[in-house]
Structure formats: C-alpha cells, structure tokens
Amino acid sequence: MKRRDFIRSSVGAGVATGAALSLGGANSLLGAEAETDFDLVAIRGGEPEVMFDKGIAALGGMSRFVKPGQRVLVKPNIGWDRTPERAGDTNPKLVRRIIEHCLDAGAKDVLVFDHTCHEWTKCYQHSGIEQAVAEAGGKIVPGNSERYYKHVDVKGGVKLKETDVHELMLNTDVFINVPVLKNHNSAKMTIAMKNLMGCVWDRGYYHKNDLHQCIADFLHFRKPDLNVVDAYRVMTQNGPVGVSLDDLVTMKSQLISTDIVAIDAAAAKFVGMDPSEINHIKLASEAGFGTMDLSKLKIKRIVV
C-alpha cells in the first residue's frame, strides 16, 4: 500500500511538472519541447523498478497510456524455465512495477501471459513472474494450449498473412510489450519485435517462412502501445537460452518507447550491434512501423 502511494505521488508530481513546463511561455521561447514528447527514454544505473518509475514519469506517467476502466495486456518474455538470475526471461521486478503503475492509472484488469518454449507452469513459476503478477494485483493467464488462440488475418503481411493469436490480443484495450534484451542465434537479437512471437500459437510457421519477415509482419496485426525493454542483466552470447551465468553482462539499463522499431534499434546498440544488421528491424522500418535511425529520435537519457 505504501509503495502504491509512493508511485501515485511521484507520478503525479511528474505530470504536474510536465504540465507546468509546457504551459510556461519561457519554454517555447527557448525552443524546448514539451517535457513528455520523447520518442525514447533510456535509463541506466538503477534497479528495474526504480528505472521504470523515472522513465515512465519522463513520458508523462502511465496515465498517458492507460485510462481508467481499461483492460491492459502486459506481455513479458516468460519463454524459458529459468530463474531471474539467468535473465532468460523478463525481470519480475520490472513486470511487477509496470502492473502497479497500470492499476494506479485506473486499469480494470492487468493480464499477463506468454506462449512459452519450455513447460509453461515451470516457466511462469521459476521466472518469478507468476508471483510478481499476483503480488502486484494482476492476473496471470495461461498460453499453453491452442484453445486459447484465435485465428486472425494479418492484413498487409508479406509472409505472415494469417495466424492464431492469444485471445487476450483481441479483448484487451492497452498492449504493453516487456521483452528482455538478449542475444539470439538467428534473429540476431531478441528484443521488442521478436518478443511478439510469444503472442502466436504457431511459431514454427515463422521459422519456416522467413523468420525476419514474419517478425516484422506481425506489426500489421497489432503494434504495442508501449514497449519497455529490460536490459538489467543482458545475455550477450549463447542466446536466447544461455548456457551459464558467463553469458550475462549486468547493464542495469532500461528503454521505454512507443516506437517498437526505435526501441529495438536502440537496444541493439547496447550490445554493440548496428540496427541495420538485424533484418527484422530493417524490414519493419522500411514498412513504416517506426524509426531505426537513432539520430532522428528525441531521446531522453536518465542516469539513476
């Protein structure tokens, strides 16, 4: 309860400051942007929940994205039966904080699922995400059976023209994508766009039909309203499962953006890759889903 109050007051303060600044004549005279008008917020140096508090405040708070009474879908990476230390899945502390922010913004329900690669109950449990969701007041939803998936058309998709998506993709108002940043042996990196593969039933179809094109094509169906990249511990090699703790670098970083292409491009930079090396980022950028040229972005950098 105390934590909730703290978030509410700090987020409130952030919004108030932002509003005051944007109303002040001095800002426009100096040519400053409205405080919340960033394409991307990058935070470094803190614990996941602290970085998220600061980052989302810089974007104007969660109330910009979640309206009272809405149903929110939070989609972390829970793909692997790994403990948080192994960073195969999204950091549970971050997931918990995002849910708390959504509920504070008045969300009616916050629902969390993933179509896992390992046995799903073990993934949900060992990743710590099941517990984090329960403690934050969200709902954890299974994604283990085809019966939870509904057939949809992907209008505009080049290779992915139809697929089966989890029913939550069809009956939630707000979609928050929360990937963990990882090396990936064939998708090169797994970040925000790749994380959406956990929303469909048949991942094999992607692998069979031009992986990168399918990853980009999914955005024709639904683009997340907000993306939060967990780069607290980053698996820079042997991804996406990881062989040992040796594969990890503690970066204590986080990225927040509404632009899924921009956030993937920025995240790639964290592991020393050029966004253009990653085919699905290039394809999504060309299809107009966002900007991969970081020099064209308004970036807010925060060091905690």
Partner 1 sequence: MKLSILKKIRVVLALFFFLLLSAVFIDFRGTFGDAFYQWAVSLQFVPALMKTITVAGVVAWGLIAVLLLTLLFGRVYCSAICPLGIMQDVVSWVSRKVKKKHRYKFRKAWTITRYTILGLLLLVVLLGGITLLTVLDPYSLFGRIASYLFKPVVVWVNNLGATALSSADVYSILYQYDLAPVQWAVLGTTILFFILIIVMAFNRGRLYCNSICPVGTVLGFLSKYSLFKIELDHDTCTQCGKCMRVCKAECINIKHQTIDYSRCVACYNCIDTCPEDAAVYRISRKGKKEKTVDLKPANVMVAQPKGPQMNKRSFLFTAGAGMAALAGVASVKKVQAAATAQQGSTIHSSNGGKIPEDKNYAVSPPGSESIERFNDICTGCSLCVSACPSKVLQPSFLEYGLAGMLQPHMDFHAGLCNFDCTTCGEICPTGAIKPLTMEQKHVTQVGKAHFIKANCIVETDGTDCGACSEHCPTKAVHMVPYGDLVIPEVTEDICVGCGACEHACPVTPHRAIYVDGNPVHLEAKKPETEKAKSDLKAGEFPF
**Which residues are near partner 1 by CB under 8 A?**
42, 44-45, 81, 109, 117-119, 121-122, 139-142, 144-148, 167, 184-187, 203-205, 207-213, 234-238, 240-241, 243-244, 246-249, 251-252, 266, 269-272, 279, 294, 299, 301, 303
Contacts (Cβ under 8 Å, ≥6 apart) of 26? none
Closer to partner 1 by CB, 67 or 205: give it: 205
CB of 52 to partner 1, least distance (A): 17
CB 140, CB 99: distance < 8 Å? no
CB of 95 to partner 1, least distance (A): 17
Closer to partner 1 by CB, 82 or 101: give it: 82
Closer to partner 1 by CB, 67 or 118: give it: 118
Closer to partner 1 by CB, 7 or 278: give it: 278
Closer to partner 1 by CB, 12 or 142: give it: 142
CB of 304 to partner 1, least distance (A): 9
CB of 23 to partner 1, least distance (A): 30
CB 143, CB 116: distance < 8 Å? yes
CB of 146 to partner 1, least distance (A): 7
The CA distances from residue 181 to 87, 106, 192, 208, 228, in Å, are: 9, 29, 8, 24, 10
CB of 213 to partner 1, least distance (A): 8
Rounded to whole angstroms, the Cα distance separating 133 from 84 reads 14
Closer to partner 1 by CB, 15 or 214: give it: 214
Closer to partner 1 by CB, 15 or 84: give it: 84
CB of 268 to partner 1, least distance (A): 9
b/e 238-259 (16+ beta carbons within 10 angstroms → b): ebbbbeeeebbeebbbbbbbbb
**Tokens at residue 42, please?**
């990058």
How far the first Cα of the chain sits from its last, in Å, is 24
